[in-house]
Amino acid sequence: MKVASVVGARPNFIKLAPVSRALRERFQEVIVHTGQHYDYEMDRIFFEEIGIPEPDHHLGVGSGSHGRQTGEMLARIEDVLIKEEPDAVVVFGDTNTTLAGALAAAKLHITLVHVEAGLRSYDRRMPEEINRVLVDHCSDLLSCPTETAVDNLRREGIVDGVYLTGDVMVDAMNLCMDISKRSTILERLELRPKEYILATLHRAENTDDSERLREIIGAFEDIGSNLVFPCHPRTERRLRDLGLWDSLKERIKVIKPVGYLDMLQLEMNALRILTDSGGVQKEAYIFRVPCVTLRERTEWVETVNDGWNVLAGASRESIVRHARGFVPPRSQTHVFGDGEAGRRIADLIESFMSSGRGCSGGRFAAS
């Protein structure tokens, strides 16, 4: 039996690592890389560090507007799927790659598996929210990381093929924890554990809105020299365009994006984390590091409800106040599973396909 895993962006690569290992124990896996992320720091380093097999197909789509990028991916993924004839397609998370892979599989009547299904921020202005909803509604097997995700799907009428597997990010972190200890990132940056604040910023709602971006960057500058900021390439371009880049570099420690292993070390040793990333919110929670989210809503509501994450939006005052003083009020309830999600997903695919329910084409399949 052949399974095609479709990836293209940094979050996809991390989720792929444990799932790919589990799949290859019982299936022939084909990895399709769209090229949505193509910088070394956002792409190649992840395959090298985590030990993901070389992609069988690299589509080289690159950047572009949401519509153009997704459309180009859809056309190229369809060609690959027609050639490879997989029994199932696996997509991850909520990127444009995820949506393109899902649509290609559904329209070709190939069984579609969505890893990290059921997440909702209930903010349709987020491109990722549109992607999640559409992918969930055309998937045959939906791997949910939490009970909240299962409940979200039930409210939308999706109950068939829905399974609580736990979060594959826990699997990925467990895979890499021992290796990450070899990282020398703290020494290279001259950082002491729990004496710095880590920040990431990349979502379009923040980087494409000049007013929001100026507020957030103003907060970063107010926080000062103990702030470490691995800067996404798109964010850097926006900061340069707005004339904010030089002054920011003078006030805080701005560095290039780092690999997964270095990022794990930066996260686990931070005093607090500021981010608009869903994955980083989760990693902060798992590492028991207080998180300040630079958004009004989050798909990871469990981290907020459990008291370890606070939504600061783009308010300069709120970001600075929480960055300097946010302390979780209680211990955690550990909502993301036991690190066996990858194995459970492979089990589900095997059971689903062997039962004869495969190749249904999803809920949006053409007749």
* End-to-end Cα separation, the chain, in angstroms: 25
Helix (H, G, I), strand (E, B) or coil at 20: helix
Is residue 79 within 8 Å of 107, Cβ to Cβ?
no
Sign of the Cα pseudo-torsion (50, 350, 77, 99, in order): negative
| DSSP state, residue 224 | -
From the candidates 33, 37, 114, 202, which is the catalytic residue?
202
Catalytic residue status for 202: yes
Is residue 37 within 8 Å of 9, Cβ to Cβ?
yes
Is residue 36 within 8 Å of 98, Cβ to Cβ?
no
Residue 179: name the closest of 244, 262, 121, 117 by CA.
262
> Which runs of consecutive H residues, i.e. helices, occur in 85-167?
96-107, 127-137, 147-155
* Catalytic sites, residue numbers: 202
